[in-house]
Structure 1
Amino acid sequence: MQNPFFEPSSLPYQLPPFADVRDEHYRPAFDAGFAQQLEEIAAITAQPGTPTFDDTIAPLEASGAILGRVGHVFFALSSSDTTPFLDELEAEIAPRWAAHSDAIELDPALYARIAHLHEHPDASWTPEQSWVVEQWHLRMTLAGAALDEASTTRLKALNQRLATLTTTFDQQLQADTNDLAVVVDTAEELDGLSAGDIASAAQAAADRGLDDKHLITLPLFSGHPWLSQLTNRALRQRVMEASLARGTRGNAHDNRAVILEIVALRAERAALLGFPTHAHVVTADATAKTPEAVDAMLSRLAPAAARNAQAEAADLQALVDEAGEDYALASWDWAFWTERLRTARYDVDTQALKPYFPAERVLQDGVFAAATQIYGVTFAERDDLHGYHPDVRVFEVHDADGSEVGLYLLDLYTRDSKRGGAWMNPLISQNRLLDQPTVVMNNLNVPKPPAGSPTLLTFDETNTLFHEFGHALHGLFAIVGYPSVAGTNVPRDFVEFPSQVNEMWMLWPGIVEQYARHVETGEPIPADVLERIRATETFDQGHATSEYLAAALLDQAWHTLAPGESVDDVAAFERAALERVGLLLDTVPTRYSSGYFQHVFSGGYSAAYYSYIWSEVLDADTVQWFQEHGATRESGQRFRERLLGVGGSKDPLEAYRDFRGRDADLAPLLTRRGLE
């Protein structure tokens, strides 16, 4: 059988040949990939004599070519365009992948060679080579390579079971999210939505065979963007309650038992590795270093955020009362009345701004144009290259001198086969060892309008596109020697920093006026509107910060449980955890409740959801630097070369100091969020 994964793609930039991939190609490619890499590792450990970088680290970095090709494509599609076959195969592959990783990371002979190199560094190594050795030694040590045989056997069993459970959590969440999409009988119930949003809801219903209905599909986070517009309070309540119920309804998609087993097994694994809790394992190779450091920061912010949220709730209740409504503010009312308060206080209605954010102009004249202005790169659509779905677009990226940078893929629209949220995936990451190029992709979940209608983004969706593109730029700009430190392979609590920085260009003077133009008239967004938007920077930040911190602290609560510390009731544990930190607020649900907290129970952010605000300290400090130095090519080049361009090839905080000239200051973050 001609298997497209067995050899590098012949397409430009080695873009995976999605059109040639069939279901029957995956299993043989995984089988061959696992076997190939284990043979390559065996050849390394069979080497006689004293280990060297060239006979140990270099071939280790080069190993697993087939597995890399099939893995990148498979896991990209299982998130972005899954099928029953891919779901079934993922449930099979996840524990096998975990076992394969253990076979390498727990290999005592390989660990002995790497430990020797770590203890006897060679003066001829480059700084990057020294860093790669250090990272491999830390990675294998944290994986448990120094454990005895009995502990290693148990560790492998834990890893395989956890791989199965996290896959189960993800698949059950997606199924329950699809099931809980809110069916609306008449367009009149959608009063307050734009004509385009109503048409999108009608299209979503039609796609499911629901004739003459409308469907409100649920995003990953609590609530829904349309809650700010829907005048029908009963419908707002239905949407919020459906969102909060995911994964906890006692049906076939209930995630509570899965959560409890995941948490217990992670705690047991931490103890095997010699750590008090899972959070201690996670932070050991993060910039935070300890969960105590994380708790110190989050606990410093939580009281002020909660006070601000309560003050905001009082303002909203006053507005409800003034309008003659006879009810107490509830979580499903918050966004609706916040928009009215924003309009009254600042004369800014973010939903009314949608005509100024047509998706194509945002992309071309905003996201791409900002990157051209700051970094010199240009983007050209390649209609001759194709992704895995008709909605996927492919762009070729060139540097200012015309040299090739890589490919950027964009998958904008929501569909039942795509998980919620927004993210970036690398498909191929640049490195000199294997002479590989770069291919990255962004996924969002924007409702797709009917054919012929323009896609209009909300204010938040526009911000999300800029954010995710920051991850893409990090992947595109990193120039490194070795695959393990390529692209966005940096500590979890640093990886969000480049994406958060890229959000600044959304409203940057000279950039926003170019892309934020009315879809019908082409007129730029009025200057006075922009000023009022900028004046709202700290508006509703008590709510935004509280819902985020609640999720981050809930994550920490789950993952600072000691081995054997049992939990019987998921909901009761969650309530107690939030009450303990003063964030059990009825009107402000945690951004992700446990049943649908995909980030930490299947998405790689376990004990690390704090990373967003940890990275935001660097982000706010960097925005201040750009405000002082300007949005110039010189400023952009410094940030690109000294930070984005190094990928994961050096200590990220050292890279930050190299760029900024000092450590980050917390003050800009406190000011941004109104927490001084």
Structure 2
Amino acid sequence: MTSNPFFERSTLPYELPAFAEIGDEHYLPAFERGMVEQLGEIAAITASEEPPTFGNTIVALESSGALLTRVSNVFFNIAGSDSNARTEAIEAEISPRLAAHRDAIHLDPELFGRVESLYERRADLGLEGEQARLLEQYYLRFVRAGARLDAAQQERLRELNAQLASAATEFGQNNLAATNAATLVLDSAEEVAGLAAAAVAAAAENARSLGHDGKWALSLQNVSNQPVLAELADREVRRRMLAVSLGRGFGDTGRNGPLAARIAALRAERAALLGYPDHASYAVEDQTAKTAPAVEEMLGRLVAPAVANAEREADELAVAMRADATGTAELRSWDWQFWSERVRAERFSVDAEALRPYLELERVLWDGVFFAAGQVYGITVRERDDLIGYHPEVRVFEVFDADGAALGLFLGDFFTRPSKRGGAWMNELVSQSRLLGQRPVVVNNLNIVKPPEGEPALLTWDNVRTLFHEFGHALHGLFSDVTYPFFAGTEVPRDFVEFPSQVNEMWMARPEILANYAKHIDTGEQIPAALVERLAAAERFGEGFRTVEYLAAALLDWAWHRIPGAEATADVDAEEFEADALSKAGLALAAIPPRYRTGYFAHIFAGGYAAGYYSYIWSEVLDADTVQWFSDSAAPIRDKGEAFRRELLARGGSVDPLEAFESFRGRAPEIEPLLIRRGLTA
């Protein structure tokens, strides 16, 4: 192929990929040429007769692989957000080839020799700041990738990496298929009783789009406890909904249980080959946690008080069930969300469905998410109807700094569809870099249920939280101000990356922000102040449940990745392993399944969170501490925002994240604000 949109840098604003020109047929040729080009660039580095310098080795490495980066950024976003049979086939083929390509670079002895030579002489090179850190990080990356292994060990490492890449792709594709197949199709209007009219209409439209005219279809999100369980009045429908959710990946037709066991065994073997007792120890070494015992100490501190909170909540819900004429049965997992919502509505007079008319997508986006960013950081946003995304539903926005200077592009892909995996995430299509002269292009993917044509999208409170959260990731990318792409935006340790996005959630409930966006869709009436106060109180209700379901998933992830290399075997029953792990962790609560079960835990088996799901609550320590600073400091909000942006968001991975936090906060992070937030101080 001689003509391909990826072969040259895009000429569109900010190098936005030319989606109008990109077809499925362009990906594989671009991957193949991109790998060949980068290997040629690496060969030029190692063939140089000049002694290694920071410029001819490290900067040259940073400048290599431009074509491969362009196609990878676009393709893997498409693979998650708008896949089809052809892209799935490409992903299955290219993933192990990319793993082999990375190994070809990291296991190149001549290239590592140049990097190691620079590292050993680093004190004499006159490097400062970002340069010194870049050299250090490249050296560590090569060592952790196996550069010091002998030839036979490296060959086995290549085999393991290829197998893991293929298995992770297979897990993700299985998960998407299983989630779509588990859509619950209901035959009667009585079965959707309890849903708001807009939700009923959306379910009918979903059924029609899937070929079930005259019925109602409830598609699953990629979590255990489906949000719709809080609304469905029919207990049997709730039971069926949770059953199909929890059963994904298991059973006679489920492939992800055995596949997860195989992935865990391969990772354990790889860790042992690299000199680590288990994959978790390997994974956390270059994170801010540093050691497995540090993670275990933090998680272990939270389990007992979280379970105690959840048990108190269960007692309250059981009382409410018994008091109701129909509530004679024992509280089960499929009852928890429904009765929790009933108790919340009665105790705090907060009806989740009554909130929706105040939470219309466009208002939340413009008058909430974008408005808050303007108040805190001074940025402005305008939609670019002249630029198109990778799907008709994708919207493109240009972002400007307080002085009017252009920052970058933000793409919003808000609605669920069968071709999109569950959850919400941020990708960078173009990373900021002064070295490469690039400004950021970032995308947020969400899974908001799409309303019928012409109807407004009315959100849940959790949808609003997700919008603010993901835009926090987007701001991390947009505010990046580094020289080298290695450090751009969210290129930080996994257990730090959620910190800025969690901080951004705080603005959703700030009175001045909430008052600006939470207005009734029909009347324009501002959300009542009393309702806001009750909403804040209601937010704290159910914290025991939320903490337990999260900890169960985090410790399940940890159990899979603390398997010693010498004991690694794929001959493990995933469901039995899971039950044993939760029991040992003290989290085997029948009424509270983990947020993700093994069969659909895509974060850890198809994504980058292996032995890293703990990072959400690890980051929340920093988040809660920072929210306290934003709330307590007397400085104007714009001054606070500038300090947070300058010291943390703009610097990406160019400085040690914890050192940057301590410089910003004036001390080490403290866990007490998190314990107070989650009600774990008792």
Name the residue aligned to 2:144: 142
| Deviation, structure 1 residue 260 | 1.3
Between the aligned partners of 2:251 and 2:16, the Cα distance in structure 1 is 42
| Deviation, structure 1 residue 424 | 0.2
Identity across matched positions, percent? 55
Name the residue aligned to 1:307: 308
1:583 is aligned with what amino acid? L
User: Where do 1:10-25 residues align within 5 Å?
Assistant: 10-25=11-26
1:610 is aligned with what amino acid? Y
| Deviation, structure 1 residue 537 | 3.7
| Deviation, structure 1 residue 657 | 1.2
Between the aligned partners of 1:107 and 1:274, the Cα distance in structure 2 is 20
Between the aligned partners of 2:134 and 2:315, the Cα distance in structure 1 is 53
| Deviation, structure 1 residue 249 | 2.3
Per the alignment, in what secondary structure is the counterpart of residue 320 of structure 2? Answer: helix
Q: Are the aligned partners of 1:223 and 1:239 in contact in 2 as well (CA < 8 Å)?
A: no
Q: Which moved more, 1:408-417 or 1:43-52?
A: 43-52
User: Where do 1:244-259 residues align within 5 Å?
Assistant: 244-251=246-253, 253-259=254-260
Per the alignment, in what secondary structure is the counterpart of residue 426 of structure 1? Answer: strand
1:652 is aligned with what amino acid? P
Between the aligned partners of 1:609 and 1:109, the Cα distance in structure 2 is 36
2:25 is aligned with what amino acid? E
Between the aligned partners of 1:107 and 1:188, the Cα distance in structure 2 is 65
Q: Are the aligned partners of 1:537 and 1:672 in contact in 2 as well (CA < 8 Å)?
A: no
Between the aligned partners of 1:521 and 1:126, the Cα distance in structure 2 is 58
Matching of residue 584 in structure 1 with residue 588 in structure 2: yes
Return the TM-score normalized by structure 2: 0.98
Matching of residue 5 in structure 1 with residue 9 in structure 2: no
Name the residue aligned to 1:154: 156
Matching of residue 29 in structure 1 with residue 34 in structure 2: no
Q: Could you report, residue by residue, the CA deviation over 1:549-589 in whole angstroms, capped at 9, with x for unpaired residues?
A: 00000000000001242452111111111111110001100
Between the aligned partners of 2:107 and 2:482, the Cα distance in structure 1 is 26
Select the residue among 642, 667, 671 that pairs with 1:637: 642
Matching of residue 381 in structure 1 with residue 383 in structure 2: yes
Between the aligned partners of 1:245 and 1:315, the Cα distance in structure 2 is 28
Q: Are the aligned partners of 1:142 and 1:273 in contact in 2 as well (CA < 8 Å)?
A: yes
Per the alignment, in what secondary structure is the counterpart of residue 650 of structure 2? Answer: helix
User: Where do 1:431-446 residues align within 5 Å?
Assistant: 431-446=433-448
| Deviation, structure 1 residue 538 | 2.5
Matching of residue 616 in structure 1 with residue 620 in structure 2: yes
Q: Are the aligned partners of 2:192 and 2:200 in contact in 1 as well (CA < 8 Å)?
A: yes
Name the residue aligned to 2:548: 546
| Deviation, structure 1 residue 126 | 2.4
Name the residue aligned to 2:629: 625
Structure 1: runs of 5 or more not aligned: none
Name the residue aligned to 2:653: 648
Q: Which moved more, 1:121-130 or 1:600-609?
A: 121-130
Matching of residue 269 in structure 1 with residue 273 in structure 2: no
Q: Are the aligned partners of 2:258 and 2:572 in contact in 1 as well (CA < 8 Å)?
A: no
Per the alignment, in what secondary structure is the counterpart of residue 446 of structure 2? Answer: strand
1:210 is aligned with what amino acid? H
| Deviation, structure 1 residue 218 | 0.2
Name the residue aligned to 2:424: 422
Q: Could you report, residue by residue, the CA deviation over 1:246-276 in whole angstroms, capped at 9, with x for unpaired residues?
A: 000221x421221111011100000110000
Name the residue aligned to 1:366: 368
Q: Which moved more, 1:652-661 or 1:566-575?
A: 566-575
Between the aligned partners of 2:292 and 2:520, the Cα distance in structure 1 is 47
Q: Are the aligned partners of 1:430 and 1:483 in contact in 2 as well (CA < 8 Å)?
A: yes
Name the residue aligned to 1:280: 281
Per the alignment, in what secondary structure is the counterpart of residue 29 of structure 1? Answer: helix
Q: Could you report, residue by residue, the CA deviation over 1:443-485 in whole angstroms, capped at 9, with x for unpaired residues?
A: 0001101111000010001000100000000000010000111
Q: Are the aligned partners of 1:79 and 1:419 in contact in 2 as well (CA < 8 Å)?
A: yes
Q: Are the aligned partners of 1:114 and 1:137 in contact in 2 as well (CA < 8 Å)?
A: yes
Q: Are the aligned partners of 1:617 and 1:669 in contact in 2 as well (CA < 8 Å)?
A: yes
| Deviation, structure 1 residue 644 | 0.2
Name the residue aligned to 1:89: 90
Between the aligned partners of 2:188 and 2:532, the Cα distance in structure 1 is 36
| Deviation, structure 1 residue 535 | 1.8
Name the residue aligned to 2:217: 215
Select the residue among 206, 209, 215 that pairs with 2:208: 206
Between the aligned partners of 1:204 and 1:638, the Cα distance in structure 2 is 45
| Deviation, structure 1 residue 50 | 2.8
Name the residue aligned to 1:602: 606
Structure 2: runs of 5 or more not aligned: none
| Deviation, structure 1 residue 108 | 1.4
Q: Could you report, residue by residue, the CA deviation over 1:491-548 in whole angstroms, capped at 9, with x for unpaired residues?
A: 0000000000000000012011000111111111111111111123431111000000
Return the TM-score normalized by structure 1: 0.99
Q: Are the aligned partners of 1:351 and 1:459 in contact in 2 as well (CA < 8 Å)?
A: no
Q: Are the aligned partners of 2:258 and 2:573 in contact in 1 as well (CA < 8 Å)?
A: no
Q: Which moved more, 1:590-599 or 1:342-351?
A: 342-351
Matching of residue 317 in structure 1 with residue 318 in structure 2: yes
Between the aligned partners of 1:87 and 1:480, the Cα distance in structure 2 is 34
Q: Are the aligned partners of 1:193 and 1:229 in contact in 2 as well (CA < 8 Å)?
A: yes
Per the alignment, in what secondary structure is the counterpart of residue 428 of structure 2? Answer: strand
User: Where do 1:121-132 residues align within 5 Å?
Assistant: 121=122, 122-132=124-134
User: Where do 1:485-500 residues align within 5 Å?
Assistant: 485-500=487-502
Per the alignment, in what secondary structure is the counterpart of residue 410 of structure 1? Answer: strand
Q: Are the aligned partners of 1:496 and 1:615 in contact in 2 as well (CA < 8 Å)?
A: yes
Q: Could you report, residue by residue, the CA deviation over 1:123-181 in whole angstroms, capped at 9, with x for unpaired residues?
A: 53220011111111111111111110000000000000000000000000110110010
Q: Are the aligned partners of 2:427 and 2:443 in contact in 1 as well (CA < 8 Å)?
A: yes
Name the residue aligned to 1:476: 478
Q: Could you report, residue by residue, the CA deviation over 1:287-321 in whole angstroms, capped at 9, with x for unpaired residues?
A: 00011110111011011111111111111001000
Q: Are the aligned partners of 2:193 and 2:233 in contact in 1 as well (CA < 8 Å)?
A: yes
Select the residue among 508, 513, 526 that pairs with 1:511: 513
1:396 is aligned with what amino acid? E
Between the aligned partners of 1:458 and 1:194, the Cα distance in structure 2 is 11
Q: Are the aligned partners of 1:397 and 1:407 in contact in 2 as well (CA < 8 Å)?
A: yes
Q: Could you report, residue by residue, the CA deviation over 1:597-621 in whole angstroms, capped at 9, with x for unpaired residues?
A: 0000011100000000000000000
Between the aligned partners of 2:550 and 2:625, the Cα distance in structure 1 is 20
Name the residue aligned to 1:355: 357
Per the alignment, in what secondary structure is the counterpart of residue 405 of structure 1? Answer: strand
Q: Are the aligned partners of 1:205 and 1:214 in contact in 2 as well (CA < 8 Å)?
A: yes
Between the aligned partners of 2:495 and 2:572, the Cα distance in structure 1 is 30
Per the alignment, in what secondary structure is the counterpart of residue 344 of structure 1? Answer: helix
Between the aligned partners of 1:212 and 1:365, the Cα distance in structure 2 is 37
Q: Could you report, residue by residue, the CA deviation over 1:18-50 in whole angstroms, capped at 9, with x for unpaired residues?
A: 110112211111110000000101111112243
1:612 is aligned with what amino acid? Y
Name the residue aligned to 1:104: 105
Q: Are the aligned partners of 1:264 and 1:564 in contact in 2 as well (CA < 8 Å)?
A: no
Q: How many correspondences in the alignment?
A: 675
Between the aligned partners of 2:558 and 2:191, the Cα distance in structure 1 is 40
Between the aligned partners of 2:28 and 2:223, the Cα distance in structure 1 is 34
Between the aligned partners of 1:516 and 1:135, the Cα distance in structure 2 is 45
| Deviation, structure 1 residue 343 | 1.5
| Deviation, structure 1 residue 414 | 0.3
